[in-house]
Amino acid sequence: MITAVSWIPKGNLKAVPDVAEPPSKEELKELIESGAFARSVDGSNEDEEEIAEDGEEISEVDRAKAVAEAFGKSSKSKIASSSMEVDEVAEGLKELDMDNYDEEDDGIELFSSGIGDLYYPSNEMDPYLKDVEDEDDEEDIDDTTIKPTDSVIICARNEDEVSHLEVYVYEESSGSPNMYVHHHIIIPEFPLCTAWIDCPLKGGEKGNFVAIGSKESPTIEIWDLDVRDEVLPCIQLGGKEEMLVTKKKKSKKVKSKKEKSKKQKYKEGSHTDSVLGLAWNKEFRNILASASADKKVKVWDVATGVCKITMEHHTKEVQAVAWNHYAPEVLLSGSFDQTVVLKDGRQPSHSGFKWSVMSDVESLAWDPHSEHSFVVSLEDGTVKGFDIRTAQSGSDSDLKPSFTIQAHDQDKGVSSISYNISAPNLLATGSMDKTVKLWDLTNNEPSCLALHKPKAGAVFSISFAVDNPFLLAIGGSKGELHVWDTLLDADVCRKYGSKRS
């Protein structure tokens, strides 16, 4: 399945990504000790033993014995059949008359010039082989080179219990577009959310990194997208430390024995549960916000790896965070406690503003064309729009939505939303009901412009492109990345066709 998709602006990815250096002994030791890439057959089975169909445990020793026994049987069968094969081979050699193979009659040589075939000491001197290798090399380089005109999509995927991040190249042409995986990064945990970051973490003016939040892991990993075959992230925000083993006595009713207990310890400032949402601040490029199942919202300085702010204004898991495009100090957060909270970093002592949305929050998005408006998608299939100026009046009774859409099936959540940065009031919604819809929100009177069934399964993530804003990336439960050119829809083209970049 694909859990998160996002676009990288054109020209940001290196034309030819660097190849990572082999991991050092210390890095290998860290990987082994962390068990990052170890996978058990059953996650709940700590002994890492398989369970047979009849319920009995199959140990590693038993499995090895069975393999050895099967190999022995196959060897015996080969020996038994070898005597029959020898006779057949002998008959075949007799027919070929290999003893007289070199004694050929002199005469005209077929397929020859008559004076023998011309011999060239090297391939470089052979005119028939001229430029063949050069052409092959040029084709290989062309296949791996990312052009400034190429669009790039990053896609977080989990398939067959293996998690990885894929970097897709989307080539536009006069004919059908071409899309392929340029390279991918194996990641240790099940990914839930991503955020692209251009902060120059390795020097220079710009960087090209992606932050990943994962299921059942408090660590936020930051990977360099300009490096292939990397085995470790360049930065980790938070995470677990080695478990502390303490001894405690059992109650007097039981025999007085000392019992060992393990207490998980976390790095300073770390989340303590899954990271569900991430948002990069485009104005303050070293700042990243995170939302977690530990009910907290955190603000990180990715350049130093330090958590700067921790907020605890929600009472249940925090699903989404979003920075305002016009006031980059303003942060929204949405939670399973069915509220959306606005906090302004310019007023740290202020409690912020809170909206009750009557359902669990799935996704948040600020309107890129208005500093006062945002939308929230909910588990009950609705999408609600709000104007923050009503909250500034200070009256809770005024905190009502500007509009409410029953965008998708009531029992299927609206898992993802995305604003079009080129066309004002154009919003895309993706749902667990396997559909994607486009909405015109003009004058807070929403109308559905188009419905699309991408055959992606339940839709988990959608995103409009930055450079070609009418391309919509779609990821879902079936694990195939789809790109919908929304201007191919007649109604969308009629209304927004003139805005194509």
Given a cut of 70, whether residue 113 has pLDDT beyond it is no
**Residue of 319, 280, 317, 290 whose CA lies nearest to 416:** 319
- Six token digits for residue 246: 């303490």
* Section 3-9 average pLDDT: 95
**Confidence (pLDDT) at 124:** 65
Please check the confidence at residue 42 and state whether its pLDDT lies above 60. no
Decide: 474 and 436 in contact? Cβ < 8 Å: yes
For residue 300, the model assigns a pLDDT of 97
H-run or E-run covering 422: none
Write down how long the chain is.
501
Residues 319/357, Cβ–Cβ less than 8 Å:
no
Query: Rounded to 5 degrees, what angle do the CA atoms 305, 418, 157 make?
Result: 60
Q: How far is CA 292 from CA 80, 136, 417, 425, 432, in A?
A: 64, 49, 19, 30, 22
Task: Return all residues near 126 (Cβ < 8 A) that are at least 6 apart.
Answer: 120
Report pLDDT digits (tens) over 251-272: 555 544 555 667 789 999 999 9
Lowest pLDDT segment from 97-101, 206-210, 375-379, 442-446: 97-101
The alpha carbon dihedral of 212, 220, 193, 13 has a sign of negative
Q: 187: which 2 tokens?
A: 């990641």
**Which pLDDT belongs to residue 92?**
60
Q: Which of 46-60, 181-195, 271-285, 456-470 has the lowest mean pLDDT?
A: 46-60
40 has a pLDDT exceeding 60: no
For residue range 158-204, list pLDDT tens digits in order: 998 899 999 999 988 777 888 999 999 999 999 999 999 999 998 88
Judge contact between 409 and 356, C-beta under 8 A.
Answer: no
Cα 446 off chain centre by? 31
- Cβ–Cβ < 8 Å for 322, 307: no
Beta bridge partners of 298: 290, 310
The arithmetic mean of pLDDT across residues 417-429, rounded, is 96
Give first-to-last CA distance, the chain, whole Å: 31
DSSP 34-50: HTTT---SSTT-TT--E
User: What CA–CA distance (Å, rounded) separates 489 from 174?
Assistant: 18
Alpha-carbon gap, residue 43 to 94, rounded angstroms: 61
Sheet of strand 297-301: strand arrangement? 275-280, 287-292, 297-301, 306-311
Q: What's the pTM?
A: 0.76
Give the pLDDT band (50/70/90) at residue 289: very high
| pLDDT at position 49 | 41
Give the Cα separation of 297 and 239 in Å (integer): 15
pLDDT band at 382 (very low <50, low <70, confident <90, very high): very high
Instruction: Count CA atoms closer than 13 A to 484's CA, side-chain side.
Output: 23
Assess whether pLDDT exceeds 70 at residue 393. no
CB 450 within 8 Å of CB 489: yes
342-353 pLDDT tens trace: 999 888 788 889
Q: Which residue has the tokens 């070609």?
A: 468
Distance of CA 218 to the CA centre of its chain: 17
Query: How many alpha carbons fall within 13 Å on the CB side of residue 339?
Result: 15
Mean pLDDT estimate for the chain: 81
**pLDDT tens-digit series, residues 125-163:** 666 665 655 555 555 556 678 888 889 999 999 998 899
276 token code pair: 């569900």
Q: What share of the chain is helix, strand, coil (3-state, %, to 5)?
A: 20, 35, 45
Confidence of residue 106 (pLDDT cuts 50, 70, 90): low
More confident residue, 394 or 330: 330
What pLDDT shows up at residue 18?
Answer: 84
